[in-house]
Amino acid sequence: MKYHLLDRNVCCPFCGRANLAYKRPGQHGDVYGCNACLKTVVHRRQKGKPACGLVPVLNFGQLGYWKPCATRYWLPWPPSIIQPIANF
Ligand SMILES: [Zn+2]
């Protein structure tokens, strides 16, 4: 595990439920799976930024939008803190 363990109340970016479980180390960060909807997210550091955050893994392994772990509670995608993934 490269980063800190995710807080228990961090919610899945796909279904919004707090059901994420650590699966394995990945090429770009720690891989978590959602036990509710079975989707995958990666906990990683954004290039050029000190903070770590969560990235949803979409179909065909494409990465979604990175979101920082700064807040203890997972808010529903406030546009002000959405960061586009680039050059990872
Ligand atoms: Zn889910």
Q: Count of CB atoms within 10 A of residue 65's CB?
A: 16
In the reported structure, the alpha carbon of residue 19 is separated from the centroid of ligand 1 by a whole-number distance in angstroms of 7
Question: 66 alpha carbon to ligand 1 midpoint, in Å?
Answer: 16
- What tens digit of pLDDT does each residue of 3-44 get? 888 888 888 999 999 999 999 998 888 999 999 999 999 998
Distance CA 29, CA 55 (A): 10
Give the predicted TM-score (pTM) of the model: 0.72
Strand partners, 45: 52
For 20, the domain range is 1-88
- How far apart are the CA of 49 and the centre of ligand 1, in A? 26
Between the CA of 33 and the centroid of ligand 1 the distance, in Å, is 8
Number of domains in the chain: 1
Task: Tell me the pLDDT tens digit for each residue of 41-77.
Answer: 999 887 777 778 899 999 888 888 888 875 444 444 4
CB 87, CB 46: distance < 8 Å: no
